[in-house]
């Protein structure tokens, strides 16, 4: 996994509460075989109407938000089905950070497995970010994981909280697999000890 | 028993962090594995133990013309599994092999499932394998990759629950009725965060296949896994199977397996009981497996339910199911019957259904399909002439796969159609958008096909003896 240290990028708003994983990536796309390539289906039913025409009102369809890498949204982001395709779609679209007042558990965990930084801020702080994003075309944020701080070019600075275990996880670009592999010797020793059983010869 | 298996597989544990658990058997299917293999490839990793990894294709497989997958994306998923297995050296039971089938039917059939093993699969019904006294549970795609790469998982230790079936199982009550009855009584989340151990005389009396039916639906009660202590029934089932230990190895294995049984006086975090003597064949009426009742009963009145949440959920469910409170369950007409799945697609299930169907005719208003759980189940059924009994009665005899259990293949309900199904989930849209699913046993499903509505199979008029 790519380490996450610092990200400076355009901010895109999705101004809704309870954005669920079905909305993030509808079930007809679960048959795909890649982990990548889900970005084109992100928020599918909000981006396109039944005839396949772009819905211009939806934020991600507006030119000013093209190429953004920081997503801001409202409470309970990522609720619903546990599909890992949801963080895959968000990452593949180009987002590296999601900021919201709260996240659904499984989605929150899945983000870390995929190198996405989900940041919980207070309702007021998120509201402030929405206002600044709307007011300033080309609004950018810098998210600094080493210092746990968010800044903009207008002098805003917000500090955020994150579990230390998870922070290290992202900073070092570790993944669960990498962590488990640190115990490779113990795994090999276990396999040697249980060789007969694993080889089905008892 | 859970403690023993858990302790026997922990490789590393640290306060406040999940334990690292060794996995003895990893089963793989086409839907949740492609991204896991892609992850390995991107990181230059190999499958650590291809010898402990077995794959099959089941979810997307058409049951009519299996080599002709018309949906190109389904076909691609199937082809991808083939290529991944080749590239990473994983044994694949593909559409050309007799052993292909629903992953949870295939594993036990091959003798891959042993007491005391840790078993995972990217599929929630992995709990099925707990019938052998194995610790078996479903995992997500990142975890599939994790197990492929490391043969381990990071897991927080779950709590334990004893589910005690009290009393002797009455005639005409199936394993499906035990588990549906349990979930109807305790709900779909009573076991969230727990691993269940099923005990009691009624459990001891079940065959291996019946035990699998019970353990299969542990997840519908919210449990991570469901176990049954191994005994002679287990050992007799395993003896001689392809991946079971052979000869003297088998005897040594049995000694080890016997030691797994739960010690007298073991303490569980929670104990629940179900009196089986008063059980009646079960039918679900709603859109969650816990919304079930007796065939002799009626569709419930939502306003008589104890909590506000249950009332709301029941109202919504009845609206979706288009049912009126107070309607006798035995007066609900059906359009479709599905006999199959990893819950009830094994040979004993098909025998039981065939026995009911023999000499009768499927109601003209009903489409009924029988989908064997695996190629071997299909072959065995044909050897016994069950296919003839079914087709003579007007059932369609299909090829092995998951089929209408989740309707990812072409077997799909049309909006508004009502189905008696031997599968495990009756969620909205599970068998097709707008489709209505009622969960029942294979016997009840076969009887419903013939009557065109649900009927109490205990009063069934058996026409001719099925020779098995
Ligand atoms: S039969 Fe149904 S529940 Fe079983 S593995 Fe297939 S889709 Fe899942």
Report d(CA B25, CA B261) in Å as an integer.
20
Rounded to the nearest angstrom, the minimum Cα separation between A184 and chain B is 8
Name every residue in A having a CB less than 8 A away from some CB of B: 30-36, 82, 84, 88, 110, 113-114, 165, 176-177, 179-181, 183, 186-187, 190-191, 194, 197-198, 200-202
Give pLDDT tens digits for B202-221. 999 999 999 999 999 998 88
Looking at the CA of residue B408, tell me the nearest atom of ligand 1. Answer: 7
At what angle are helices B208-216 and B347-357 packed, to 10 degrees? 100
Give pLDDT tens digits for B314-354. 998 999 999 999 999 999 999 999 999 999 999 999 999 99
Backbone angles phi, psi at B424, to 5 degrees: -125, -10
- Measured between CB atoms, which of A31, A187, A201 is closest to B151? A187
The pTM of this model reads 0.83
Residue B134's contacts (CB-CB under 8 Å, 6 or more residues apart) are B5, B25, B113, B114, B115, B116, B117, B118, B119, B227
Compute, in angstroms, the gap from residue A37 CA to the centroid of ligand 1.
27
Residues 226-285 on B with a CB inside 8 Å of A are 243-245, 249-250, 252-253, 256
Query: Helix and strand tally (H, E) in chain B?
Result: 16, 19
Which of B101, B102, B136 to mutate to test ligand 1, by most ligand atoms within 8 A of the CB atom? B102
**The domain at A6-171 falls in which architecture?**
Alpha-Beta Barrel (3.20)
Mean pLDDT on A49-56: 88
From the CB of B143, is ligand 1 less than 6 Å away?
A: no
Best residue of B32, B76, B152 to probe chain A, by most A CBs closer than 10 Å: B152
Give pLDDT tens digits for B238-251. 999 999 999 999 99
From the CB of B402, is ligand 1 less than 6 Å away?
A: yes
Does residue B412 sit at the A interface (CB-CB below 8 Å)? Answer: no
Q: Is the pLDDT of residue B279 over 60?
A: yes
Interface ipTM > 0.95: no
Residue A190 CB coordination number (10 Å): 21
CB contact under 8 A, B146 and A176: yes
Give pLDDT tens digits for A128-182. 999 999 999 999 999 999 999 999 999 999 999 998 888 988 998 887 898 899 9
- DSSP letter at B453? B
3-state class (DSSP) for residue B271: strand
Q: Is the pLDDT of residue A185 over 60?
A: yes
Q: Searching chain B, which residue's CA lies closest to the CA of residue A183?
A: B12
Mean pLDDT of chain B: 92
3-state class (DSSP) for residue B118: strand
Domain ranges of chain A: 6-171, 175-202
What Rg value do the Cα atoms of chain B yield, rounded? 21
Looking at the CA of residue B423, tell me the nearest atom of ligand 1. Answer: 2
Among the listed residues B179, B174, B169, B272, the one whose alpha carbon sits nearest the alpha carbon of residue B217: B179
Give pLDDT tens digits for B60-118. 888 887 777 778 888 888 899 999 999 999 999 988 888 888 999 999 999 999 999 99
């Amino acid at each position: 996994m790519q380490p996450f240290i610092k990200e400076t990028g355009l901010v895109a708003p999705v101004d809704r509460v309870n954005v669920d994983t079905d909305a993030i990536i509808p079930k007809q796309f679960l048959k795909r075989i890649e982990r990548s390539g889900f970005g084109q289906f992100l928020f599918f039913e909000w981006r396109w109407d039944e005839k396949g025409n772009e819905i211009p009102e939806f934020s991600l369809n507006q030119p000013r938000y093209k190429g953004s890498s920081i997503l801001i949204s409202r409470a309970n982001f990522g609720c619903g089905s546990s599909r890992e395709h949801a963080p895959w779609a968000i990452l593949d679209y180009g987002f590296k950070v999601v900021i919201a007042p709260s996240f659904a558990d499984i989605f929150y965990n899945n983000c870390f497995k995929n190198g996405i930084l989900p940041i919980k801020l207070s309702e007021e702080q998120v509201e402030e970010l929405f206002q600044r994003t709307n007011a300033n075309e080309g609004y950018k944020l810098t998210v600094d994981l080493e210092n746990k701080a968010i800044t903009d070019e207008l002098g805003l600075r917000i500090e955020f909280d994150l579990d230390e275990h998870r922070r290290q996880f992202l900073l070092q670009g570790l993944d669960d697999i990498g962590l488990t592999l640190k115990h490779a010797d113990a795994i090999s020793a276990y396999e040697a000890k249980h060789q007969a059983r694993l080889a089905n010869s008892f | 028993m859970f403690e023993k298996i858990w302790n026997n597989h922990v490789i590393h544990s640290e306060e406040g962090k999940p334990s690292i658990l060794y996995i003895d058997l990893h089963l793989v299917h086409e839907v949740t594995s492609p991204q896991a293999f892609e992850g390995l490839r991107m990181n230059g990793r190999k499958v650590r133990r291809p010898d402990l990894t077995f794959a099959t294709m089941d979810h997307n497989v058409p049951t009519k013309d299996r080599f002709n997958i018309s949906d190109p994306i389904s076909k691609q998923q199937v082809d991808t599994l083939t290529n991944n297995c080749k590239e990473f050296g994983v044994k694949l039971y593909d559409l050309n092999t007799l052993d292909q089938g629903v992953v949870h039917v295939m594993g036990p059939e091959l003798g891959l499932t042993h007491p005391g093993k840790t078993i995972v699969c990217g599929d929630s019904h992995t709990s099925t394998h707990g019938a052998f006294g194995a610790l078996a549970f479903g995992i997500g795609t990142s975890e599939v990759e994790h197990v492929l790469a490391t043969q381990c998982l990071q897991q927080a230790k779950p709590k334990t629950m004893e589910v005690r079936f009290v009393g002797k199982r009455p005639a005409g009550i199936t394993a499906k009725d035990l588990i549906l009855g349990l979930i109807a009584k305790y709900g779909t989340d009573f076991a969230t965060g727990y691993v269940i151990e099923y005990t009691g005389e009624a459990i001891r009396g079940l065959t291996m296949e019946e035990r699998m039916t019970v353990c299969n639906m542990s997840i519908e009660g919210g449990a991570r896994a469901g176990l049954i202590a191994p005994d002679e029934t287990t050992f007799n089932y395993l003896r001689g199977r392809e991946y079971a230990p052979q000869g003297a190895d088998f005897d040594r294995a049995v000694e080890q397996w016997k030691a797994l049984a739960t010690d007298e006086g073991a303490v569980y975090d929670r104990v629940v009981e179900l009196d089986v003597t008063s059980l009646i064949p079960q039918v679900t009426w709603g859109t969650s497996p816990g919304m079930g009742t007796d065939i002799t009963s009626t569709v419930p009145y939502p306003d008589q339910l104890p909590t506000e949440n249950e009332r709301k959920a029941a109202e919504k469910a009845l609206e979706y199911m288009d049912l009126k409170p107070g309607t006798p369950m035995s007066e609900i007409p059906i359009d479709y019957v599905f006999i199959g799945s990893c819950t009830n697609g094994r040979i004993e299930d098909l025998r039981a259904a065939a026995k009911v169907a023999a000499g009768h005719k499927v109601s003209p208003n009903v489409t009924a399909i029988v989908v064997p759980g695996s190629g071997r189940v299909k072959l065995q059924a044909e050897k016994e002439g069950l296919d003839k009994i079914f087709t003579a009665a007007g059932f369609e005899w299909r090829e092995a796969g998951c089929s209408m259990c989740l309707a990812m293949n072409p077997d799909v309900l049309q909006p508004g159609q009502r189905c008696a199904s031997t599968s495990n989930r009756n969620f909205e849209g599970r068998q097709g958008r707008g489709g209505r699913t009622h969960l029942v046993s294979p016997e009840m499903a076969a009887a419903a096909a013939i009557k065109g509505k649900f009927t109490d199979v205990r009063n069934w008029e058996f026409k001719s003896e099925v020779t098995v």
